[in-house]
Every structure is written in structure tokens, then in C-alpha cells.
């Protein structure tokens, strides 16, 4: 990797650390890490502060990853080149494990969706709508998040993704599912909080 590539990935990580949920919750006088599930993500904000606040967090989390991938595209000249995927991973890592907040962040769904918006805009748009439809129907954000996470590589195949792109995204999918293991356990015991 060239120095410019390393800088892009670092910038992507830093963009990923932008504390969307904390800032929105603070406007309501709450510390989102100390209410509900304690997770600083859109789902917990929806449960604690409503859909309007949650939507703001969701869109901001998408935007920071989309900007990161967009920067990589501008630097490399490739919309779906290796640097764009490195920036995607950097932004998701920053969102999930922000160093300045003791590596305690969200679960990577919205930020992954934002990266996908640049890489596969049509697929991202369908999954974005699907998340809200599924979450409204099931009242479980985790169900919607897991559903669109699993559907992401399928959408990419339909949109003619290359094999190496799928391998990268399958790694991200596995990571996001791993982050949702506590949710899966609560779903099995019917103790998962509803929206």
C-alpha cells in the first residue's frame, strides 16, 4: 500500500468513530450508553428516543462510511477497487471499536449500509427499505439487521460482484453476525427488547 492509501484507511477509521448516537441522545439529555441496551447505535436510540432520533443516527452512521468509501474512490479512481473496500472495513471498525471511547461502539449495520451505498447503490437502497419494513413488522431491530446482513452478499451476486469482493463482504457479514450473538440468544429466549 502507498502512503496515501494508508492515510485513506486511517481517515476512514476516524470517520467511523464519529459518535452519531451519543450526539443525538445528548440533545435529548440522555447518555445512550447508559440507557436501554447501552449500545450506541440507531436501534437503541429508536427504542429510547423514538423513530425520528433513530433515523437521524441511522443516516449519520451510513453517511460517515459512505464518505469514507467516497474518499477512497476519489483517491484511487476506482469505485469498487481494493482501497474502497479497505476504507469500508476501516469505517466499520471505527464505528464498532472507536479507540477514543474504549472500543465500545455500534454493531456496524448502518455503517456497512453506507459503504454499500457507494459500492452497490441499488442493492443498498433495497436493503435500506427492507430494514425499516422488517423492523416495523417484527418490532425487532436485530431481526431486521440480521436479515439485511445475510441478504447483502446475495444482492451483490445479483449485481455481478467479483469473487474477491464477496470474500471481503462475507468477512464483514460474519463479523456483524458475531456482534449480534447476544441478540440471537435473546431472540431464542424471547427476551429481546422490541422497538
pLDDT tens per residue, range 139-185: 898 999 999 999 999 999 999 999 999 999 999 999 999 999 998 99
| CA–CA gap between residue 194 and residue 191 (Å, rounded) | 9
- Give the mean pLDDT of the chain: 93
Q: Alpha-carbon Rg of the chain, whole angstroms?
A: 16
Q: Phi and psi of 98, rounded to 5°?
A: -70, 120
What are 25-66's pLDDT values in tens digits?
999 999 998 988 888 988 899 989 998 999 999 999 999 999
Task: Report how far apart, in Å, the C-alpha atoms of 69 and of each of 50, 52, 118, 154 are.
Answer: 29, 26, 7, 21
Contact 107/96 with Cβ under 8 angstroms?
yes
Amino acid at each position: 500500500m502507498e502512503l496515501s492509501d494508508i492515510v485513506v484507511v486511517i481517515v476512514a477509521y476516524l470517520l467511523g468513530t464519529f459518535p452519531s448516537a451519543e450526539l443525538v441522545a445528548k440533545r435529548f439529555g440522555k447518555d445512550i450508553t447508559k440507557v436501554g441496551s447501552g449500545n450506541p447505535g440507531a436501534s437503541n436510540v429508536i427504542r429510547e428516543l423514538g423513530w425520528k432520533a433513530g433515523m437521524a443516527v441511522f443516516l449519520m452512521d451510513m453517511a460517515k462510511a459512505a464518505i469514507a468509501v467516497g474518499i477512497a474512490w476519489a483517491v484511487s479512481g476506482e469505485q469498487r477497487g481494493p482501497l474502497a473496500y479497505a476504507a469500508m472495513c476501516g469505517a466499520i471498525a471505527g464505528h464498532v471499536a472507536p479507540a477514543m471511547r474504549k472500543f465500545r461502539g455500534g454493531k456496524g449495520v448502518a455503517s456497512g449500509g453506507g459503504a454499500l451505498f457507494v459500492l452497490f447503490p441499488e442493492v443498498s437502497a433495497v436493503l435500506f427499505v427492507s430494514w425499516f419494513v422488517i423492523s416495523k413488522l417484527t418490532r425487532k431491530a436485530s431481526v431486521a439487521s440480521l436479515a439485511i446482513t445475510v441478504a447483502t452478499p446475495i444482492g451483490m451476486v445479483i449485481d455481478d460482484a467479483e469473487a474477491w469482493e464477496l470474500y471481503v463482504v462475507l468477512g464483514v457479514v460474519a463479523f456483524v453476525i458475531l456482534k449480534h450473538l447476544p441478540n440471537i440468544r435473546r431472540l431464542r429466549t424471547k427476551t429481546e427488547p422490541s422497538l
